[in-house]
A and B are shown apart, each in its own frame.
Chain A
Amino acid sequence: MFEFQTRLRSMFGSIAALRLRQTRWTLSYWAWAFGLLPSSGKWGERISFVYIYLLAVGVMTPAILQLIGGLYLLEAQTAEALQVRILWITIPWIVAIIGVIFMVLPWKAWMLRLTFGDMTYLSPSPFDRRVLAVWRYLEMVGTIPLLVLLPLVLIAPMFGSIWARDVIPAVLRGALAIGLWSAPLLAMGWHLSIQDYVHKPPPVGVRWIARLSLIVIVGVLIVAAPDILLWPGRLIVLLAMGQLAWGWLLLAAYALLSVIIIWVIARHLSLTRASAGSDVFARIQQLGVMVLVDRRLLLSILGEARANESRAVGTLPKTRGIPTIYARAALYYRRQFGQAIQLVLVGLALGFGMILWRPFNLVTVIITVVLLTMVLPPWLASIFRNDVSVPFISQFIPQPATQRILAASLVPCLLVMVGLLPVMLVLNGLLPGWAWGLAPIVWVMSLVGHVEAIGKRSALGDRSIVTVLLGSAAVFAVVWSATTSSTVGIEALLPGILIAATVSFVLVLFAEIRHTGIVA
């Protein structure tokens, strides 16, 4: 028994030491990246970093403090009845929704989060799986209070202005209560998820029935007794206010029980299976900060993982020549249905945005145009960008790049229009007369994205100041023509279409020049 305890202590000690070393490495990397280490660069470069920090702190800190101060003032002025309603109804509902997310999150969150290093050295070792599972579980639980800290700081006066004198203890009590409350919910998710990684997993049907049952129970509670779902949230609110001391005992008991459950079920865990399950996480983890810099890398790994998990549905519709682009797009969106939905939602958002947005002055128009050009074109052209980034297949497509751009840019444009048109038709009365000008704007934005994707020869095009400026100018021309059109309804499209056609010609010419190498 004594030997077992010593072994466990040593295992927890090893994993803690490993985690500490990883954290130290990460911190030193960030310190290097932010110019804090002598190896970060020359003195001149590092001083410029300091200047940026001072500027950021000097500008942002007062702004954030002012924002929080304003919020606190607003909350202090809120009627007490409304505050009680927020604390007793709204926050418990938010807590209930987050609770469901906590239960479902571990199903797909590569719970053990093994890196390639772990897979190589930890998996074949006699390291106790239970230690690893409990450690990772506690890490997840421990992160929750940190994540909720900021939202709690923002709503703290709600607790403070009613009962407590000081908001800081309320915030800390709230964070701790949420952390303890999340433990059993996460344990429930882990329990279901670990079944996928045990030596002899139960049949797929059984695992799905277990998950579905959980969802059904929550659904039934929402319909039949929604108040039960609000109990945990109300308990957390009371604990944050320093009431109901016995609640701490209850939450702590549940948290302890959860750790025991994880310890027991992790006994059958297979690290070989867990390693296979962590492959996607390990690949993302390997990218390091590049995940933040280049989202395409992340999307590519996730897309590949999704494709590998699912069976290929549908086949390529029969076409010949350039229409094959549409066949390929149709099959792509059938298999990646979520991406098609995203584009339709963009259309809906643009439509609703039109109700609120007005071209008050030139600055408003320019800011809107720059924002649209920064955000939307790469999104609209994501499938084309993916395709162009595979030069091996590009060489098998005999059609000229410009023909491909023109054909491919139509598909996302149509999907956005699917979302946009219902809004335009149903809410026509709320929209300005030039709203129909959105159609050529969407087309031009799609074209800008596609043009940007074409680089020199086989290379994928990068966003550069030239493409952003050209794109912004193109979108501006169409927005300006649409918003200043004297005509209304469908006729407002005509000048927009004319300008869009001219702009399209310029963009395609730019793509051709960039592609053939006349412009580097």
Chain B
Amino acid sequence: MTKKSPRNKPNGQAMPVMEKVAEPEIVTISSPTSKPSSPSNTVLEAHGVHKTYSSAEVLHGIDFTLAEGERVALIGPNGAGKSTLLQCLAGWLPMDEGEVTICGASLTRDEQKARSSLVFLPDTPNFYQSLTAWDHMLMVGRFHDMIDVEPASEYLLHSLGLWGVRKSYPSTYSRGMKYKLGLALGLLINPKVILLDEPTAALDPLSARVMWRMLDEFQAEDNGAVLLSSHQVELATPGIGRFFLLINGNKIGDSTPQGWIERYHLPSTATVASVFTAAIDEFAKAHPEATGEDL
């Protein structure tokens, strides 16, 4: 019983097909500033996510939704809480308060099911010491009971430029190569949602272009959703539908590039930096207790 419906990838190789879990239960969330998600396609939903480290609260009740096939950029100054939010959404870090639902499954009540639809790629992924890149691909595919795991892995490693070093241990890889291997593993199992922390920080321009193309494919062909945190995206970066801005652990807004331009009356050529500046000014007025150093 399982898996079939291989799709042909550009080089003619079939992508693997996994055993599907139950169809996701659909939940509707409306957010005043975000692009409205259709009631039938929300794959990730967060309500009131609070996180505190020692006595410092780093996330203040964050609400967020992500729809099928959507790509959202999580932006904010250093220390805004982007990586913490991603880890909370992925279930890597327990929240203090709040609720996260992935494809209809609650992360707190039905963790196994919720996490089966999501892959989180941290800024520097770690791998098993005694397995090569190729072993990792085979192992993950076989744990997922996938057929055609070898051609699919070959396709992904070729595409990401890792085929020549597939028999090396990832501990010998550079940070960029580790990130690409992590991405290959993520795409191999065809999740519903991929969360990427600083995806372009370690990649050379060519690899970054390949990564964007593969994410395009993932969204277009698998209807996958992507949430990425990055300092290297701009309002004009193609493919990014919404920008979710965090400052000091507070959600400032969640809007399309045009939405941000209109909100702060910026020129059409505005950059993410100009959105930051306007948002920080607005935040400082609303929270006079926050000092300049905090921001």
Q: How far is the CB of B159 from chain A (nearest CB, A)?
A: 19
Q: How many angstroms between the C-alpha atoms of A335 and B131 in the bound complex? A: 9
Q: Which residues of B contact A517 (CB under 8 A)?
A: 94, 108
| Cβ of A222 under 8 Å from chain B | no
Q: How many angstroms between the C-alpha atoms of A307 and B145 in the bound complex? A: 28
Residue of A nearest to B150 (CB): A318
Q: How many angstroms between the C-alpha atoms of A322 and B185 in the bound complex? A: 18
Q: Which residues of B contact A456 (CB under 8 A)?
A: 94
Binary flags per residue of A288-312, CB closer than 8 Å to B gives 1, else 0 = 0000000000001001100110001
Q: Do A398 and B129 touch (CB < 8 A)?
A: no
Residue of A328, A392, A395 touching B115 (CB-CB under 8 A): A395
| Cβ of A489 under 8 Å from chain B | no
Q: Which of B91, B134, B142, B167 has the most CB of A within 10 A?
A: B142
Q: Do B130 and A395 touch (CB < 8 A)?
A: no
Q: Do A387 and B128 touch (CB < 8 A)?
A: yes
Q: Do B111 and A316 touch (CB < 8 A)?
A: no
Q: How far is the CB of A155 from chain B (nearest CB, A)?
A: 42
Known contacts A303-B130, A457-B111; A316/B138 CB under 8 A: yes
Known contacts A321-B142, A328-B139; A390/B126 CB under 8 A: yes
Q: Do A304 and B129 touch (CB < 8 A)?
A: yes
| Cβ of A331 under 8 Å from chain B | yes
Binary flags per residue of B135-179, CB closer than 8 Å to A gives 1, else 0 = 110111011110000000000000000000001110110000000
Q: How many angstroms between the C-alpha atoms of A300 and B127 in the bound complex? A: 12
| Cβ of B44 under 8 Å from chain A | no
Interface size class of A (residues with CB under 8 A): 35 or more
Residue of A nearest to B172 (CB): A308
Q: How many angstroms between the C-alpha atoms of A304 and B116 in the bound complex? A: 29
| Cβ of B125 under 8 Å from chain A | yes
Q: Do B91 and A399 touch (CB < 8 A)?
A: no
Residue of A328, A331, A391, A457 touching B94 (CB-CB under 8 A): A457
Q: How many angstroms between the C-alpha atoms of A304 and B127 in the bound complex? A: 11
Residue of A303, A390, A398, A516 touching B127 (CB-CB under 8 A): A390
Q: Which of B132, B142, B143, B168 has the most CB of A within 10 A?
A: B143
Q: Which residues of B contact A458 (CB under 8 A)?
A: 91-92
Residue of A303, A316, A386, A457 touching B139 (CB-CB under 8 A): A316
| Cβ of A213 under 8 Å from chain B | no
Q: Which residues of A contact B129 (CB under 8 A)?
A: 300, 303-304, 307, 386
Q: Do A457 and B92 touch (CB < 8 A)?
A: yes
Q: Which residues of B contact A318 (CB under 8 A)?
A: 142
Residue of A315, A386, A398 touching B144 (CB-CB under 8 A): A398
Q: Do B142 and A312 touch (CB < 8 A)?
A: no
| Cβ of B80 under 8 Å from chain A | no
Q: Which residues of A contact B142 (CB under 8 A)?
A: 316, 318-321, 324, 327
Q: Which residues of A contact B130 (CB under 8 A)?
A: 303, 307, 331-332, 335-336
Residue of A nearest to B188 (CB): A396
Q: How many angstroms between the C-alpha atoms of A319 and B145 in the bound complex? A: 9
- Identify 19 new A-B residue pairs, CB closer than 8 A, beyond the known A327-B142, A392-B120, A399-B143: A304-B169, A308-B172, A315-B134, A315-B138, A316-B139, A320-B145, A322-B143, A328-B128, A328-B139, A386-B128, A390-B126, A392-B121, A393-B127, A396-B143, A398-B112, A398-B143, A398-B144, A457-B111, A458-B91
